[in-house]
A and B are shown apart, each in its own frame.
Chain A
Amino acid sequence: MIQEFKKIWKPYLIGLLWLLGLLWPLLGIHPDGTLSFARTFTVWLYIATGISICAVIYLLNKSDALGPVTAPIGNARKALGAFGKTVPTWVWLLALLVVALIYPQVTNRYAQDVAVNVLIYICLGLGLNIVVGLAGMLDLGYIAFYGVGAYSYALLNTHFGISFWATLPIAALLACIAGCIIGYPTLRMRGDYLAIVTLGFGEIVRIILNNWMSVTNGPNGILGVKAPSIFWPSFAEGFSFELLYLKKLHYLYYIALGLAIITIISVRNLNYSRIGRAWESIREDETAAELMGVNTFLLKLLAYAMGALFAGLAGAFFCARMRFVSPESFTFLESAMVLSMVVLGGMGSIPGIMLGAAALIVLPEVFREFETYRMLAFGLAMIVMMLFRPAGLIPAKRVGTRSEEKEG
């Protein structure tokens, strides 16, 4: 115990003082030029007390004084884990699906709204994962394809009255083409250079949307986009079909769920296909991949196109849900957000990215109570997550164990 304490007291004290130094400018300097200390100290004392308690628990745990408490918990966890393994995967998936299906029946509008957002971002995260996680190309302008999808639907619907369902494949195709157009000139670049160029392309798309008044109506955006519709049998005057607009949020939720499921299944299949493996080889070592007969040029272009496709689908749905689009929704911050979901969740891992998307959408909502400090708390949560799970919330499998470890 004493030894453990000796090891940590210095960084612990420095950390607390550093926090004080950071906190004071935030809390103690007021816009009217006055300075105060009282508030900073009270907040700091609260935090210091909390952290001290954590430190004491940590010390007790390190010196095994908590054995009687942790041992049963550890055993219970192990038993739970063993139980989890005996249940086949499809049971879990089925349970998850059932929960997802009854979710809108038991929740309110607000919860459904958040869930729809999560589903959209799952599509985006999984799409970006193809480019970043599988093919290993850092894309900072990914949201541009989301924008292309959204504007495709907005324009086709308001000008030509084409329905949501007919636009869905068109939006996907247009996003694909945009992916190829942006991907083509960047294919010879790697790493940092690629990141900067994609960032530039993303901004170009946003600026075009913002300034091309005659087509996109500029910063005002496009209003009056129709919600998705279906033909529903009606028996009012004999038998006929009537056009029903799915404006209710829980209908939209089911559409988003459908899109997300399609995305998950396709990405999973791509992931385990020959193409997925080839993408990974490009990520690992492009020259070696070429030496093995992998057509790196075509496959990188395909990665862009496939990533853009899912963004296009998500974009069209986003526009149909809001019934409005404006360039504001496609800023760099959104790209960064999707990228964070991929990295935070675990690159290349489908359940990880789903969890990452859920975490990054739900956390800011949870922190709403903190009001002005909401984003601060959100940032802190991200840092903590990365500290404790540096490879992502659910890292991609294929963590190789040496054979001797397996036996032992």
Chain B
Amino acid sequence: MEPILELKDVYSSYGSIKALKGISLKVFPGEIVAIIGANGAGKSTTLMATCGIVPIDKGDILYQGKSISGLMAEKLPIMGLCQVPEGRRIFPRLTVHENLELGAFYRKDRAGIEKDMERVYDLFPVLRDRTKQQGGTLSGGEQQMLAIARALMTRPKVLLMDEPSLGLAPLIVQRIFDIIHDVNESEGMTILLVEQNANLALQAAQRGYVLETGTVTMEDDADKLLHNEEIRKAYLGE
């Protein structure tokens, strides 16, 4: 099968800091793939480079078989590639409803937008009775839900998620992972998941990559990684 998203030996840097030193990874349609790694390993940079926010120095990024490495970032949601960035980054002074509308910014199909709006409100009922509230006044967990809902409004084929569990209570984390499962299963949405919580991420995913200082040090099926001695020591604190 053809991978829907593929990074080929990608190098990226911030000035003199080399953040990515030859990342290669493949994501197949319908999969959940997890990326785990320590702080500063380059996980967020990998996602930002994929989305065209951080420029790449070398290598190539293929989406549905075509190179997207030279494209402007704003072209990608139209093609079905969207990211829930680290730290939520919702629009704090816009209302929940306006945040969601911005997710559908490039879309013109009024009816479809209305339908999707209903769908994300069904997925996250807390948002429904806060439509007129400013995004910045939501609680952390609600903001994370809004960030995910906003990304879903772009109707992505591939959804990149950067640490969706950051700073959330276990119960909310569980809910968010349930929803990740849900959209993956019911719509076949492909998900590339970056997580600090390796245990949870590897349980949700089918395959996993381990990043260390800008390179991929391991890739395998998720449950094999989950039972790997080294991984358990390094990332699961055993």
Do A and B come from the same complex? yes
Does B184 interact with chain A (Cβ within 8 Å)? no
- Interface size of B as a range: 20 to 34
Known A-B contacts A280-B93, A280-B94, A284-B91; A291 and B133 likewise in contact (beta carbons under 8 Å): no
Task: Indicate if the CB atoms of A278 and B74 lie closer than 8 Å.
Answer: no
Which of these binds chain B: A93-101, A181-189, A293-301? Answer: A293-301
* Alpha-carbon gap, A295 to B137, bound state (A): 27
Task: Indicate if the CB atoms of B133 and A400 lie closer than 8 Å.
Answer: yes
Task: Indicate if the CB atoms of A288 and B85 lie closer than 8 Å.
Answer: yes
Does B204 interact with chain A (Cβ within 8 Å)? no
Contacts of B2 in A (CB 8 A): none
Task: Indicate if the CB atoms of A285 and B89 lie closer than 8 Å.
Answer: yes
* Alpha-carbon gap, A297 to B106, bound state (A): 15
Task: Indicate if the CB atoms of A398 and B83 lie closer than 8 Å.
Answer: no
Contacts of A398 in B (CB 8 A): 93-95, 134
Which of these binds chain A: B61-69, B97-105, B187-195? Answer: B97-105
**Who on chain A is nearest to B130 by CB?**
A403
Does B150 interact with chain A (Cβ within 8 Å)? yes
Instruction: Select A289's contact among B82, B95, B102, beta carbons within 8 Å.
Output: B102
Nearest-Cβ distance from residue A296 to partner chain B, whole angstroms: 7
Contact with A along B54-79 (1 / 0, CB 8 A): 00000000000000000011111110
Does A62 interact with chain B (Cβ within 8 Å)? no
Task: Indicate if the CB atoms of A292 and B76 lie closer than 8 Å.
Answer: no
Task: Indicate if the CB atoms of B133 and A402 lie closer than 8 Å.
Answer: yes
* Alpha-carbon gap, A336 to B207, bound state (A): 57
Contacts of A34 in B (CB 8 A): none
Task: Indicate if the CB atoms of A288 and B77 lie closer than 8 Å.
Answer: no
Known A-B contacts A296-B74, A400-B133, A402-B133; A291 and B82 likewise in contact (beta carbons under 8 Å): yes
Contacts of A328 in B (CB 8 A): none
Does A277 interact with chain B (Cβ within 8 Å)? yes
* Alpha-carbon gap, A290 to B91, bound state (A): 12
Number of A positions contacting B (CB below 8 A): 24
Instruction: Select A284's contact among B52, B72, B92, beta carbons within 8 Å.
Output: B92
Does B196 interact with chain A (Cβ within 8 Å)? no
Task: Indicate if the CB atoms of B102 and A281 lie closer than 8 Å.
Answer: yes
Does B129 interact with chain A (Cβ within 8 Å)? yes
Contacts of B53 in A (CB 8 A): 287, 290-291
Contacts of B75 in A (CB 8 A): 293
Q: Could you list 24 examples of A-B contacts with CB < 8 Å?
A: A274-B105, A277-B94, A277-B98, A277-B101, A278-B105, A280-B98, A281-B91, A281-B94, A284-B94, A285-B92, A288-B91, A289-B102, A291-B77, A291-B89, A292-B77, A292-B103, A292-B150, A293-B74, A293-B75, A293-B154, A294-B74, A294-B102, A294-B105, A399-B134
Scoring B77, B83, B102, B129 by chain A CB atoms within 10 A of each residue's CB, the highest score goes to B102
* Alpha-carbon gap, A255 to B134, bound state (A): 39
Nearest-Cβ distance from residue A263 to partner chain B, whole angstroms: 24
Contacts of B132 in A (CB 8 A): 400-401
* Alpha-carbon gap, A277 to B72, bound state (A): 20
Task: Indicate if the CB atoms of A291 and B134 lie closer than 8 Å.
Answer: no
Task: Indicate if the CB atoms of A293 and B91 lie closer than 8 Å.
Answer: no
**Who on chain A is nearest to B73 by CB?**
A290
Which parts of A392-408 form the interface with B (CB within 8 Å)?
398-403
Does B51 interact with chain A (Cβ within 8 Å)? yes
Contacts of B73 in A (CB 8 A): 290-291
Task: Indicate if the CB atoms of B91 and A291 lie closer than 8 Å.
Answer: no
Nearest-Cβ distance from residue B71 to partner chain A, whole angstroms: 12
* Alpha-carbon gap, A294 to B106, bound state (A): 7
Which parts of A249-298 form the interface with B (CB within 8 Å)?
274, 277-278, 280-281, 284-285, 287-297
* Alpha-carbon gap, A402 to B134, bound state (A): 9
Contacts of B94 in A (CB 8 A): 277, 280-281, 284, 398
Does B90 interact with chain A (Cβ within 8 Å)? yes
Contact with A along B20-64 (1 / 0, CB 8 A): 000000000000000000000000000000011100000000000
Task: Indicate if the CB atoms of B102 and A287 lie closer than 8 Å.
Answer: no
Which parts of B190-223 form the interface with A (CB within 8 Å)?
none
Task: Indicate if the CB atoms of A402 and B130 lie closer than 8 Å.
Answer: yes
